[in-house]
Amino acid sequence: MVELTSRAHPVHLFFFFSLFLQAQGQQLQANEQTILLRLKQYWNSPPLIDQWAASNTPDAHCSWPGVTCTGGSVTELDLSNMNINSTTPSFLCELGNLKKLNLSNNNIPGGFPSVLYNCSKLNYLDISQNFFVGPLPSDIDRMANLQYLSVAANNFSFDIPPAIGRLSQLRYLRLYQCQFNGTYPAEEIANLSNLVVLELAYNMKLIPSSFPMSFTTKLKKLTSLWMTNMNLMGQIPETIGNLESLQLLDLSRNRLTGKIPSSIFTLKNLSSLYIFGTNLSGEIPQKIESLELESIDLSENKLTGSIPEGFGELNKLQSLVLMFNQLSGIIPESLGRLPALTDVRLFSNNLSGVLPPDFGRFSPLEDFEVDNNQFTGPLPENLCFAGKLVGVVANNNNLTGKLPESLGNCSGLIIVSVSNNRLSGKVPGGLWTLFNMSIVQLKNNDFSGDLPDRISSKLSRIEISNNLFSGNIPASMGTWKNLKVLDASNNILSGSIPYEITNLSLLDTLLLDRNNLSGNLPESGSSSKSSKNLLFIILAAVFASSTVMVVCTFMLKVYRNSRRDTGYAWKLTPFHKLDFTEPHILSGLTEQNVVGSGGSGKVYKVPIYHWQGRCVANRLTRGT
Ligand SMILES: *[C@@H]1O[C@H](CO)[C@@H](O)[C@H](O)[C@H]1NC(C)=O
Ligand SMILES: *[C@@H]1O[C@H](CO)[C@@H](O)[C@H](O)[C@H]1NC(C)=O
Ligand SMILES: *[C@@H]1O[C@H](CO)[C@@H](O)[C@H](O)[C@H]1NC(C)=O
Ligand SMILES: *[C@@H]1O[C@H](CO)[C@@H](O)[C@H](O)[C@H]1NC(C)=O
Ligand SMILES: *[C@@H]1O[C@H](CO)[C@@H](O)[C@H](O)[C@H]1NC(C)=O
Ligand SMILES: *[C@@H]1O[C@H](CO)[C@@H](O)[C@H](O)[C@H]1NC(C)=O
Ligand SMILES: *[C@@H]1O[C@H](CO)[C@@H](O)[C@H](O)[C@H]1NC(C)=O
Ligand SMILES: *[C@@H]1O[C@H](CO)[C@@H](O)[C@H](O)[C@H]1NC(C)=O
Ligand SMILES: *[C@@H]1O[C@H](CO)[C@@H](O)[C@H](O)[C@H]1NC(C)=O
Ligand SMILES: *[C@@H]1O[C@H](CO)[C@@H](O)[C@H](O)[C@H]1NC(C)=O
Ligand SMILES: *[C@@H]1O[C@H](CO)[C@@H](O)[C@H](O)[C@H]1NC(C)=O
Ligand SMILES: *[C@@H]1O[C@H](CO)[C@@H](O)[C@H](O)[C@H]1NC(C)=O
């Protein structure tokens, strides 16, 4: 023995040892390939997994779709979006080195997959967006190595078990959008001192509770706290300012009352602050030290007082959303010079004074909505300086002056809505023909000039009643194919109503009363996208004064109904940006429509505008 040892050169020993290891490795690999093939069979070969094919190469499976190996052994399975529609088999844990399992966005039924308790090395588990039901198990802490757990967007119900608070390694805890209808273990969750991301949002069936003070004292590493719509009541504690690492804070759609704690604006790393749709009152704190803020949404509260001057120093601010409050006073002029500002939504407040003239001049402004306030003076001249503007909505103010010339070649513009002001002058010529222009609402102003010869092929609403438009209705109107509404009552239009109007098969509302129109009403010929509707439109009344009133009450009713019908022509697409096209503008989406009720087990994001150009949905799915 001694001799043998002495003669065996270390290199040889190493060689044999490697051979042994290699053989063992190949054995393991062959086993793992077999396990994966069993998995494929168990799940009935969904299309992508169908590409998993047996091979003599021992580690062939390491390059199969969704499979990741480390040192020849399977450590990660990303089986998200694979159309898996049956339960998880227990033999999956025979993949003894599995660390990360992603089953997100499948159709997996049944209860929580406790069979995964046997995956002893598992530290990432994502089972979000499936059809899971029932409780989260009260011994879920047996998955002791978990650093990441997402069960979001399933139908889990009952209490969130206290055992969750014993998963002490957890850094990410995503529990949003389930059907939990009991309590959540706030004190235990507060014990998860490594938590970086905590998401409890859209669990609106939870028993009402107040904001857990212990979160603010113990979860010091949190960068993201998403607690939207989960039945929070009472006040936001001033200690929230302890959460120094916070980048995102979202407490929207709860029944919170009281003031916004001033400590919130001391959070140095805060970039997104959303507390909309609660019952906060009082003034917005004036001292603003959160210079990383990119997005602020405090809309739909009962906030009073003025917009803090300090907002004018937020050089990263892109989105300022304060609509539906009772804010008063002027908009600080410095806001107009913020370099990153894209969205300004201040409508339905009690703001007054002149709009800061620099809005749009120094930033890529996209959306400017200031309607239902008491602004005076002109619209800012350079709103479209960067060429990014898609909408101007400024109805119901006391604005004077002309429409900014810059709107005339503002190529991306979709909506201009400035009714009920005292604006005057001619509409910038190019405005009507902008490629995407869909809605022009200028009612109740003093605008003058002729109607356009040509309009954008997307333009569907022209509302210009109670102005001083003059001249003829152009015969080219026959090409305004997408027009649904033309309201031009009470102007000084003259001449006759062109026959070509009968070409407009989508037109359902035509109001031309109180003008100087004369002659006969066109009749739709005996002919064909399409002239049936016109029979309704041409229900006209001709007055002695040769004023023509063309009102189609029937169609008007249809139009009104369709506006109220929120189910009209919109679609939900997971996580994709949709085009801002006509049906979406008219759809009047509400938040409930946008984030599914958990019913389908899917989360949806529809970053589109409702009919007045309000973007309602881009705030909803920041979770992932
Ligand atoms: C489950 O998925 C498999 C494979 O895609 C399919 O053949 C089967 O019809 C599906 N079953 C159900 C109930 O949807
Ligand atoms: C799981 O997959 C989904 C969809 O591809 C992805 O969004 C999610 O981040 C993944 N989860 C983890 C933990 O990587
Ligand atoms: C875990 O594995 C053991 C041994 O393979 C088995 O007896 C047990 O049923 C498994 N547990 C679960 C929850 O699948
Ligand atoms: C919670 O929801 C589950 C599943 O729908 C139901 O069985 C249970 O009765 C509910 N509990 C309460 C307290 O409403
Ligand atoms: C929090 O953790 C501490 C220390 O492990 C433990 O003593 C305490 O009971 C835990 N609190 C809760 C509510 O679980
Ligand atoms: C704030 O962010 C910076 C840059 O990412 C980081 O270095 C710092 O640690 C963060 N501060 C806190 C309190 O988390
Ligand atoms: C806000 O308070 C009013 C009564 O003060 C109540 O009717 C309303 O439901 C509350 N809104 C929310 C979101 O809690
Ligand atoms: C709006 O502001 C005006 C003064 O600018 C004030 O007289 C009025 O009371 C305010 N209205 C509301 C509802 O706050
Ligand atoms: C509009 O026209 C002016 C003058 O021709 C030009 O300077 C500006 O860049 C144009 N803006 C856009 C958005 O096209
Ligand atoms: C708008 O201006 C008119 C005339 O100056 C004034 O009578 C009216 O009260 C103003 N309306 C608002 C809402 O400020
Ligand atoms: C019109 O809208 C479409 C869809 O949003 C967009 O891709 C396109 O760039 C827009 N056209 C212009 C000229 O802005
Ligand atoms: C989830 O809950 C919703 C709403 O209660 C229900 O419509 C849906 O059928 C449920 N889905 C499953 C898979 O249980």
Distance CA 319, CA 297 (A): 8
pTM of the model: 0.86
Confidence (pLDDT) at 140: 98
CA-to-CA dists, residue 243 to 78, 123, 227, 586, 608, angstroms: 33, 26, 15, 41, 32
pLDDT band, residue 23 (cuts 50/70/90): low
Amino acid identity of residue 257, one-letter, is T
pLDDT band, residue 243 (cuts 50/70/90): very high
* Nearest CA residue ID for atom 5, ligand 2: 80
Using most ligand atoms within 8 A of CB, pick from 43, 44, 79 the residue to mutate for ligand 1.
44
Q: Ligand 8 within 6 A of 400 CB? A: no
Distance CA 252, CA 232 (A): 9
607-622 confidence digits (pLDDT tens): 333 333 333 333 332 2
Range with lowest mean pLDDT among 19-23, 81-85, 340-344, 489-493 = 19-23
509-556 confidence digits (pLDDT tens): 777 778 887 765 555 443 437 333 333 333 332 222 222 333 322 223
Tell me what percent of the chain is helix, strand and coil, each rounded to the nearest 5.
Answer: 20, 20, 55
* CATH of 402-542 among 3.30.70.20, 3.30.870.10, 3.50.50.60, 3.80.10.10: 3.80.10.10
pLDDT band, residue 138 (cuts 50/70/90): very high
Confidence (pLDDT) at 566: 29
Q: Using the CB atoms, write b or e for 458-496: b if 16+ within 10 Å.
A: bbbbbbbbbbebeeebbeebeebbbbbbbbbbbbebeeb
302-312: average pLDDT: 98
85-106 confidence digits (pLDDT tens): 999 999 999 999 999 999 998 9
In the reported structure, the alpha carbon of residue 154 is separated from the centroid of ligand 1 by a whole-number distance in angstroms of 19
Q: Is the pLDDT of residue 415 over 60?
A: yes
Q: How many helices (H) and strands (E) does the chain have?
A: 8, 39
Q: Are 262 and 237 in contact (CB under 8 A)?
A: no
| Residue linked to tokens 């306030």 | 373
Confidence (pLDDT) at 489: 85
In the reported structure, the alpha carbon of residue 181 is separated from the centroid of ligand 4 by a whole-number distance in angstroms of 6
Which residues of 310-349 form beta strands (DSSP E)? 319-321, 328-329, 343-345
Distance CA 203, CA 384 (A): 40
**Range 570-579 contact pairs with CB under 8 angstroms and sequence separation of 24 or more:** 570/606, 570/608, 572/596, 572/604, 572/606, 573/604, 573/606, 574/105, 574/602, 574/603, 574/604, 574/605, 575/603, 575/604, 575/605, 575/621, 576/605, 577/607, 578/606, 578/607, 578/608
* Nearest CA residue ID for atom 4, ligand 4: 157
Range with lowest mean pLDDT among 151-155, 358-362, 399-403, 597-601 = 597-601
Q: Among residues 216, 186, 184, which one has the least CA distance to residue 203? A: 184
Distance CA 49, CA 40 (A): 6
Residues of the chain with CATH 3.80.10.10: 402-542
Q: CB within 6 Å of ligand 2 — which residues?
A: 80-81, 102, 104-105, 124, 126, 148, 624
Q: Among residues 586, 583, 581, 580, which one has the least CA distance to residue 618? A: 580
